[in-house]
A and B are shown apart, each in its own frame.
Chain A
Amino acid sequence: MIALHDILHISVRQVFRQRRRSLGVVFAVALGTASLITMLTLGDQLKKDMNRDLDLLGGATIIFGGFTTATDTTAPRKFFMPETMDAIRAIPGVESASVATEHVDWLSLLWRGKTIATPILGVDEHYWHSSSLTAIKGTLFGAREVKRGTRVCVLGEEIARSLFGDENPIGQYLPIRTEVYKIIGVVGGLQVGDRKKFTMLPLSSVVSRSDGLMRADRLIVRCRTWDDVTPVAAMIPGVLARHQDPSFLKIDVAQQQLERVVSMVWWIQLFVTVSIAATLTVGGFGIWNGMMSSVTARTREIGLKKAMGAERNDILAQFLCEALTLSLSAAAVGIILAFCIVQTAGSYLEASPSLALFALNAGMSFLFSALLGVITGFYPAQRAARMDAVAALRYE
């Protein structure tokens, strides 16, 4: 067979000369390739993002746990121990795990001549992330405040408005029972729900000042994706049992919401996958059709080449290489397009997609395109190679 660099040179030149005819095919395959790479590279990020958004509608990825003794005054009082929490956080698929007080202590605050009722909730530093809460003013307390039992508090936006109106509450002091707490932040936004009426204190502050009434007996586990919810929920009792007595433990999963979300996403994924497959199939068919037309249009050329001494394999290699040139140039365009999409979408999603993952997906797409070129180009190439030289030379 002729030298590889000659085959490549002839094929690339031929495809370039017929570029107008091939534009549609290249565009279709490039679009399919770009979609495939984008889906594979950003799929995980999109899923996480979708999970975060879906949390606002009911927390399909959040697992709640507690001890049934919390409502039974005759049962032993139980709470989640720090080493149990560390072990739960180490479960694969757990994004964040926090503890809070199950019991909510309602307080009446007398403030500037007004009496306002607010539930008091003790939470740890992980609570904000587990519950998708962010500060709309000031800041949220962290590990240091929780560890030291510092007298700081975070208000829900409604209680903050009731107490301070348009005045900035940050830095103000709030008398709670016999102590004074500094307001350091306000939580709000779509995800805050009924906690807009809450006053949140460091867990240790609440526990140490409640005479044993309030404990870290409410577990909130946020999973990375909905796929992690069921396995994580199944693992929690076993993990807990290694560190403390698991009796009276109760784990709640929003099963119905979860099933609905998984089903919805399955259909979306199916639709996207079918669309990409259809685009690639159309592109592949385009390559096949273009190559078949090319073989017919170049019948005399094939005859002449055979007369010059070209072997069957020379002709086969040339046409196959032309199909590969088409599919691989489409893949190259698709990879560039995918890179632009991934970068733009990544900045929109506030994510930094992994370059290594992109490179891996781009490499796989390149191989897939090569396979597409071989599959779609083989039959036309074989037809050209098997063409009778005399019939080809007589072809008008």
Chain B
Amino acid sequence: MNKRHPIVRVEALTKTYTTAAGSFDVLRGVNLELRAGEMVAIMGPSGCGKSSLMHILGLLAPASTGRYTIMERDMFGLSEDQQAAFRREYLGFILQSCNLFEHSSVSENLEYPLIYSRVPAAKRRGIIEEALGRVGLTHRIDYPANRLSGGEQQRVAIARALVNHPKVLLGDEPTGQLDKSTSEMVMAYFKHIVQEHDTTMLIVTHDPQVARKCTRAYTMQDGLLVQLAKES
């Protein structure tokens, strides 16, 4: 696919929540295009709708209206099982901390996406080692996940998101629970992965430092994305 061609295209996306108190619009017509090798940040205060956008883009929640394509394929036309299949083949999620299966080992954590992708058991160990190698944690392969440091846990989560070689990486506050130095290290990993594998990454964050390291940054205002000027 042409590198200039958008991998992800979102057009006039809306999301309306209906509660007992009434209905309110969180997304009012979001437009967004993400290209291969791009790392894009979305900022905004809590409750502005950035996580809702992330969940819609991750095919975990439906939109109210709009159009969403990945590699020119209509995502809203897929059934629930087709969306799950698409998620395991093309999407990778990195969430805040506490997103590892804490009673499992590092390799077991990385094995789940491979199991869901029906990768034969004999091939998994090699793939896991390769993914851990990318985040420098091969030596922790059989280590219990709950004994890793916060930074190591997040690197394992990154390795898990990368293990199926996704085209699109979605990070929901991926550095939210990390200290400054670990956060910088993790961001450096993201940058390296995106550039090396032509992956597209969307990061939802509160942290301007994180946004500054991205190709582009947006802020969510009144349910719409507004692009922030790149600081020199």
A residues within 8 Å of B by Cβ?
2-3, 5-6, 10, 17, 300-301, 304-312, 314, 389-390, 393
The answer to whether A2 touches B118, judged by C-beta atoms less than 8 angstroms apart, is yes
In the assembled complex, 21 residue pairs joining A and B whose CB atoms fall closer than 8 Å, in A order, are A2-B115, A2-B118, A5-B121, A17-B103, A301-B101, A304-B95, A305-B116, A307-B60, A307-B95, A308-B87, A308-B160, A309-B89, A309-B117, A310-B84, A310-B112, A311-B80, A311-B84, A312-B80, A314-B116, A390-B60, A393-B60
| Residue interface bits B137-176, CB-to-A below 8 A is 1, else 0 | 0000000000000000000000010000000000000000
Most buried by B among A301, A305, A308, A310: A308
| Residue interface bits B175-214, CB-to-A below 8 A is 1, else 0 | 0000000000000000000000000000000000000000
Give complex CA distance A3, B122 in Å. 13
Q: Evaluate whether A308 and B88 lie within 8 angstroms (CB atoms) in the complex, with A2-B118, A17-B103, A301-B101 already known.
A: yes
Q: Flag whether B44 is at the interface (Cβ < 8 A).
A: no
- Of the candidates B61, B103, B112, B118, the one whose C-beta lies within 8 Å of that of A308 is B112
The answer to whether A308 touches B101, judged by C-beta atoms less than 8 angstroms apart, is no
Q: How far is the CB of A271 from chain B (nearest CB, A)?
A: 43
Q: Flag whether B231 is at the interface (Cβ < 8 A).
A: no
| Residue interface bits B77-121, CB-to-A below 8 A is 1, else 0 | 000110011011101010100110101000000001101111001
Q: Evaluate whether A308 and B58 lie within 8 angstroms (CB atoms) in the complex, with A5-B121, A301-B101 already known.
A: no
Query: Inside 8 A of A393's CB, which chain B residues have their CB?
Result: 60, 95
The answer to whether B84 touches A304, judged by C-beta atoms less than 8 angstroms apart, is no
The contact size tier of chain B is 20 to 34
Query: Inside 8 A of B89's CB, which chain A residues have their CB?
Result: 309
The answer to whether A307 touches B115, judged by C-beta atoms less than 8 angstroms apart, is no
Give complex CA distance A301, B98 in Å. 10
- Of the candidates A305, A309, A389, the one whose C-beta lies within 8 Å of that of B85 is A309
Query: Inside 8 A of A312's CB, which chain B residues have their CB?
Result: 80-81
Give complex CA distance A306, B115 in Å. 13
Query: Inside 8 A of B160's CB, which chain A residues have their CB?
Result: 308
Q: How far is the CB of B119 from chain A (nearest CB, A)?
A: 10
Shortest 4 CB-CB distances between A and B: which pairs? Answer: A309-B88, A309-B87, A389-B60, A311-B84
Additional 5 contacts, C-beta under 8 A, given A304-B93, A309-B88, A310-B88: A5-B121, A6-B121, A307-B93, A312-B80, A389-B61
Q: How far is the CB of B186 from chain A (nearest CB, A)?
A: 18
Query: Inside 8 A of A306's CB, which chain B residues have their CB?
Result: 60, 84
Give complex CA distance A389, B60 in Å. 6
The answer to whether A6 touches B60, judged by C-beta atoms less than 8 angstroms apart, is no
Q: How far is the CB of B223 from chain A (nearest CB, A)?
A: 18
Query: Inside 8 A of B58's CB, which chain A residues have their CB?
Result: 307
Residue of B nearest to A392 (CB): B60
Residue of B nearest to A394 (CB): B51
Give complex CA distance A193, B91 in Å. 89
Query: Inside 8 A of B61's CB, which chain A residues have their CB?
Result: 389-390
- Of the candidates A3, A10, A17, the one whose C-beta lies within 8 Å of that of B118 is A3
Q: How far is the CB of B128 from chain A (nearest CB, A)?
A: 14
The answer to whether A2 touches B116, judged by C-beta atoms less than 8 angstroms apart, is yes
Q: Flag whether B55 is at the interface (Cβ < 8 A).
A: yes
Q: How far is the CB of A155 from chain B (nearest CB, A)?
A: 77
Query: Inside 8 A of B87's CB, which chain A residues have their CB?
Result: 307-309
Q: How far is the CB of B159 from chain A (nearest CB, A)?
A: 13
Q: Evaluate whether A305 and B112 lie within 8 angstroms (CB atoms) in the complex, with A310-B84, A311-B81 already known.
A: yes
Q: How far is the CB of B18 from chain A (nearest CB, A)?
A: 15
Query: Inside 8 A of A310's CB, which chain B residues have their CB?
Result: 84, 88, 112, 116
Q: How far is the CB of A11 from chain B (nearest CB, A)?
A: 12
Q: How far is the CB of A294 from chain B (nearest CB, A)?
A: 12
Give complex CA distance A117, B90 in Å. 106
Give complex CA distance A14, B127 in Å. 23
Q: How far is the CB of A330 from chain B (nearest CB, A)?
A: 22
Q: How far is the CB of A89 from chain B (nearest CB, A)?
A: 64
Query: Inside 8 A of A304's CB, which chain B residues have their CB?
Result: 93, 95, 99, 101
Give complex CA distance A308, B116 in Å. 8
Give complex CA distance A307, B54 in Å. 12
Query: Inside 8 A of B91's CB, which chain A residues have their CB?
Result: 309
Residue of B nearest to A314 (CB): B116
Q: How far is the CB of B26 from chain A (nearest CB, A)?
A: 13
Give complex CA distance A135, B31 in Å. 103
Give complex CA distance A116, B219 in Å. 122
Give complex CA distance A17, B144 in Å. 13
Give complex CA distance A3, B99 in Å. 24
Q: How far is the CB of B87 from chain A (nearest CB, A)?
A: 4
Q: Which positions 56-85 of chain B face chain A at CB distance < 8 Å?
A: 58, 60-61, 80-81, 84-85
The answer to whether B98 touches A300, judged by C-beta atoms less than 8 angstroms apart, is yes
Q: How far is the CB of B58 from chain A (nearest CB, A)?
A: 7
Give complex CA distance A305, B101 in Å. 10
The answer to whether A6 touches B81, judged by C-beta atoms less than 8 angstroms apart, is no
Residue of A nearest to B61 (CB): A390
Give complex CA distance A304, B87 in Å. 12
Give complex CA distance A310, B80 in Å. 11
Give complex CA distance A6, B101 in Å. 17
Q: How far is the CB of A295 from chain B (nearest CB, A)?
A: 15
Query: Inside 8 A of B85's CB, which chain A residues have their CB?
Result: 309, 311
Query: Inside 8 A of A307's CB, which chain B residues have their CB?
Result: 58, 60, 87, 93, 95
Give complex CA distance A305, B112 in Å. 8
Residue of B nearest to A298 (CB): B101
Give complex CA distance A6, B85 in Å. 18
Give complex CA distance A309, B91 in Å. 9
Q: How far is the CB of B227 from chain A (nearest CB, A)?
A: 26
Residue of B nearest to A14 (CB): B103
